[in-house]
Chains A and B, each alone.
Chain A
Amino acid sequence: MFGYVKPFVPELKVRENELYKAVYCGLCKSMGRGTRWFSRLSLSYDAVFLAFVLASLHGYAFEVYPGRCGLNPLRKKPVAKDCEILRYSAAVSAHLTYYSVLDKISDERGIKRLSAKISLPLCRKMKRAAEKIAELDGAYTEECLRRLHEIEAEKSPGLDRAASCFGDMLGRYFELGAPDDKKKSAAMIGNYTGRFIYAADACDDLEKDEKKDAYNPLRYGGTDVSERLHAAYGAMCIWADRAASELQLEGGLGDASSVADNIMRLGMIDIAKKVASEHTEGKGNGK
């Protein structure tokens, strides 16, 4: 995915920040074990977020031990111990990487398309390994992506239809990893997060898509660009707030839920502010 879902570090407690880094490392190791070494290259903030939400819903506290990382084998760092949640998040990350590579092959041109094509066989292996580890609903993901492509081909204005397709897709992954009595809440959190990610990506790519004359839901519609970005910012804030409130209602009280809360209430808003203002500022400088 795209890395728009990360914590707002200045407001994290020191021990929460340590935990975040430990889970990041733990997830990377879990990916190496479960979905082949090359899947570690696709490690993203989004998968770490998934791990925190699931831990919060399961009421699970990550166990941390001092471990070593291949990138810097001399220093020991805190690493979260492998567990069901990390294995599941790793599988989801690998699964989604495969689909995003497929997406790149159909959307991009030139060097990016070529590199996506080269990595496709590896990604296919990753996807198969992921499906062995966890029960994932590949058919549903394909269905959502197909709907998304249809909407994009129609060039329909308005962000929500496309964003909610993406949200449905992500919601399904959250749902499948959640405990039985909290599946609905997990789906809702995933859904709002997915909408958020799609919207953030649309805002971020707006300038690029205008230059390339590619589809972007924010390019069309009657009002002017700054108004559309303002509406998108508002929508992103409300989605983040709804997701955070849902976890507040259903999640546990431990550090995992404080980290997830920080990501949604501060980290996501921070990103929303950045992506929604960047475009207008860039325009101002250009003139």
Chain B
Amino acid sequence: MARDPYEVLGVSRGATDEEIKKAYRALAKRYHPDSFTDPSQRARAEETMKEINAAYESIQKDKSGSSSGSGSSSGYSYQGPRNGGVGIYATIRQYINSSMPDEAEQLLNTVNPADRGAEWHYLRACVCVLRGWYYDAHTAASTACSLDPGNEEYRQLLDMLERDVNRADGTYRTAQTSDCDICSICQTLACLNCLCSSFCR
């Protein structure tokens, strides 16, 4: 049923424990579900992670005969709108929660432009998120928040978008700040050298 565990880890049958561990670590780092923000990608990473864990365990079992407990994966779900609400918005919420953006948008478009309040903008933001339209999602979510600043549901969506952005440019920001200025190190060393040579003769 399952693939050959050695094939999953990409090692040969004669691989040493060290090699297997290294391959496992590299794969586990790569497919760790926490490094994916998109729910579907995350789910796929979890699947792959399970396969990798199972392969690693079965190789370990083969080698030593002992078994170890399997790690549990944390659940994650995109926080869609709560079902409920009144009138047409209730139906739209249901469409969004069943991942049907086209139907939801059609209904949204039937709402008279004059009656489009905070909830309308919020639901439009949800539709955009489903489609990967993050620009429109952001503008619609911030409009919803500015129309109804006290609403927690709207605020949560905007926070979620901001969090995804922060995660995405986090690596870049650390790369920017951690590139330690080599000149300043040289300068410090040169100064220290002068001090040392004058004091510690």
Contact = CB atoms under 8 A, between A and B. Distances in A.
B99 interface: no
Interface residues of A, number: 40
A234 B38 contact: no
Interface in A216-258: 221-223, 227-228, 230-235, 237-242, 245-246, 248-249, 253
B37 A241 contact: yes
Interface stretch (A75-83, A120-128, A263-271): A263-271
A242 B38 CA distance: 7
Contacts of A192: 132
A238 B167 CA distance: 9
Interface string B2-32: 0000000010000000000000001000110
B116 to A, nearest CB: 12
Contacts of A223: 139, 142-143
Contact of B171 (A10, A199, A242, A265): A265
A11 B175 contact: yes
Contact of B172 (A199, A227, A265): A265
A227 B135 CA distance: 11
A89 interface: no
A182 interface: no
Given A222-B143, A248-B30, A158 B136 contact: yes
A238 B134 contact: yes
Given A241-B37, A253-B26, A234 B136 contact: no
A240 B170 CA distance: 12
A158 B179 CA distance: 36
B168 A237 contact: yes
Interface residues of B, number: 35
Interface in B85-142: 128, 131-139, 142
A159 interface: yes
Contact of A266 (B132, B142, B171): B171
A91 B73 CA distance: 44
Given A238-B134, A241-B168, A245-B36, A231 B31 contact: no
A159 B175 CA distance: 29
Given A223-B143, A265-B172, A273-B169, A163 B135 contact: yes
B1 interface: no
A191 to B, nearest CB: 8
Interface stretch (B61-69, B157-165, B190-198): B157-165
B136 A160 contact: yes
Given A233-B165, A238-B168, A241-B168, A249 B48 contact: yes
Contacts of B134: 160, 231, 234-235, 238-239
Interface of A: 8, 10-11, 158-161, 163-164, 192, 195, 199, 221-223, 227-228, 230-235, 237-242, 245-246, 248-249, 253, 265-266, 269-270, 272-273
22 contacts: A10-B175, A11-B175, A158-B135, A160-B128, A160-B133, A160-B136, A192-B132, A223-B142, A231-B134, A231-B135, A231-B138, A231-B142, A232-B135, A234-B164, A234-B165, A235-B133, A237-B169, A238-B165, A239-B132, A242-B132, A248-B30, A249-B36
